[in-house]
Amino acid sequence: MVAALVGHAYISLETFKKDGSGVKTPVWFADVEGALYVVTAGESYKVKRLRRNNKARVAACNASGGTILGPWLDAEVDLLTPGDEWARAHAALRAKYGWQMWLLDAGAKLSGRYKQRAMLKVRVLGP
């Protein structure tokens, strides 16, 4: 199922509010052995929603998230704690996005938010 996302720069990550309505957010991702990794602000609303309900959906999309480029796939998302897996995920994102990820990291360090970020592990469900 992850094959539908390979070759794309962005996925739309849909998380769910308490009332069941979905919120779609375009995010960068890296595929490592079938798991998708996403870095985001640790106190973002998507992280708060995922702490309450780890069910999500993902689909390939454009940079704005306005155009969906593939099928929606059901997923579960785990919040990683800093450690080896977090470091491997971050390295995969840096390898995929290069200087863009370097700029994101530099901005997070300069603003003092680098250690407050969350790493999401997205597991696509299904065959």
Residue range 2-124, CATH number: 2.30.110.10
31 phi-psi bin (left φ>0, alpha ψ -120 to 50, beta other): beta
Measured between its terminal Cα atoms, the distance across the chain in Å is 7
Q: Given CA atoms 74, 52, 82, 28 in this order, what sign does their dihedral have?
A: positive
List helix spans (H) across the chain: 45-52, 84-97, 99-110
What is the token pair recorded at 101? 């990820």
pLDDT digit string (tens) for the chain, length 127 residues: 688 898 899 999 999 999 999 999 999 999 998 899 999 988 899 999 999 999 999 999 999 999 999 999 999 999 999 889 999 999 999 999 999 889 888 888 888 778 788 999 999 997 6
Contacts 24+ apart (CB under 8 A), 104-110: 104/39
